[in-house]
Amino acid sequence: MRETIRGRAFVLGDNIDTDQIIPAEYLMYNPAMPDERRMFGRFALIGVPKAQAGLPAGNVAFVDQADEANTSSEFSIVVGGRNFGCGSSREHAPLALAEAGVVAVVAEFYARIFFRNSVNGGYLVPFESAERLVEKVQTGDDLEIRVAKSELANLTRGETYALRPLGDVAPIIEAGGVFEYAKQANMF
């Protein structure tokens, strides 16, 4: 895992569910086929109502849909509120964000299955914030996550916020997912 994760923020609110992250109509793609796997990135967060995306700015597209070949986002850090990834146990949700270029999500807390799918699949680094950030960070802000210090620096605003340590999931994330971790720990 990198010591720092830098990127532009995409800010969402509370209760972002897996149907908003990747709606069921886009589950027709096969993640085992590289060309189809990329399509999960193209449609990541397409189910989020425009009024909620980019709080408080609003009306910001996560992935530019005007270019049909575009499968990635200019935003690599998602900042969410409470209960991020709630809804169904869709393991495609963290995959869709990762395929769009998201490296980390910072939320107040996660739905348990989304959190585990993010870690187990090696898709995302799911940080929990120690305070509510969705009103302090804006879509487009330049952020830097300092992993060892468990802090998020908003380089645009010159502010720093505490994150909760990754704890026991850190070695799994560092290995690239639960299967890679199990191989490295000689569990097979």
State the number of CA atoms in the 13 A half-sphere of 94 facing the CB: 27
Under DSSP, is residue 102 helix (H, G, I), strand (E, B) or coil?
A: coil
Q: Domain 4-184 carries which CATH code?
A: 3.20.19.10
Under a CB-based contact definition with an 8 Å cutoff, are residues 85 and 18 in contact? yes
Domain positions in the chain: 4-184
pTM of the model: 0.93
Query: Encoding tokens for residue 40?
Result: 């999960």
Residues 14-67: tens digit of each pLDDT: 999 999 999 999 999 999 999 999 999 999 999 987 655 554 445 678 998 888
* Crossing angle between the packed helical segments 112-120 and 92-99, to the nearest 10 degrees: 60
